[in-house]
């Protein structure tokens, strides 16, 4: 049979080696420095700035569109109000003309009545 007897020092050495192997897995690996990293970072910064400018332009365009819509709405309300006032003036003018015509007809009727009466 085999000798199953293991020395305490051997077990300790094996545990130490296993622990070292496990720790080695978690140690950071040496990094490779990319020579194009600076250029890529500049490109990313340029893309971010272009996106920032695009969003700013979109916000400005939205503000301008909203202002134009508000102005158009205000102008439409003013036109509506102006048209309403013109219609009221026209109705008043027609009413006054009708009243004047009715008053003239009454005067003429009274005159005709007097002429008939006194003849």
Number of domains observed in the structure of the chain: 1
pLDDT bracket for residue 1 (50, 70, 90): very low
Rounded Cα distance, 82 and 95, in Å: 20
Domain-located, residue 4: no
* Alpha-helix residue ranges (DSSP H) falling in the chain: 8-26, 37-118
pTM (global) more than 0.75 = no
Q: What is the mean pLDDT of residues 70-87?
A: 95
Domain-located, residue 33: no
Domain extent at residue 80: 42-119
For 66-90, b/e burial (b = at least 16 CB within 10 A) is eeeeeeeeeeeeeeeeeeeeeeeee
Domain-located, residue 24: no
């Amino acid at each position: 049979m085999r000798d199953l007897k293991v020395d305490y020092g051997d077990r300790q050495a094996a545990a130490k080696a296993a622990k070292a192997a496990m720790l080695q897995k978690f140690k950071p690996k040496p990094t490779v420095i990319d020579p194009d990293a600076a250029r890529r970072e500049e490109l990313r910064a340029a893309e971010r700035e272009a996106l920032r400018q695009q969003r700013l332009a979109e916000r400005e365009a939205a503000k301008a569109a909203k202002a134009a819509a508000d102005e158009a709405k205000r102008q439409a309300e003013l036109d509506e109000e102006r048209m309403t006032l013109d219609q009221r003036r026209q109705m008043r003018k027609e009413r006054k003309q009708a009243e004047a015509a009715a008053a003239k007809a009454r005067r003429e009727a009274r005159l005709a009545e007097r002429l008939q009466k006194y003849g």
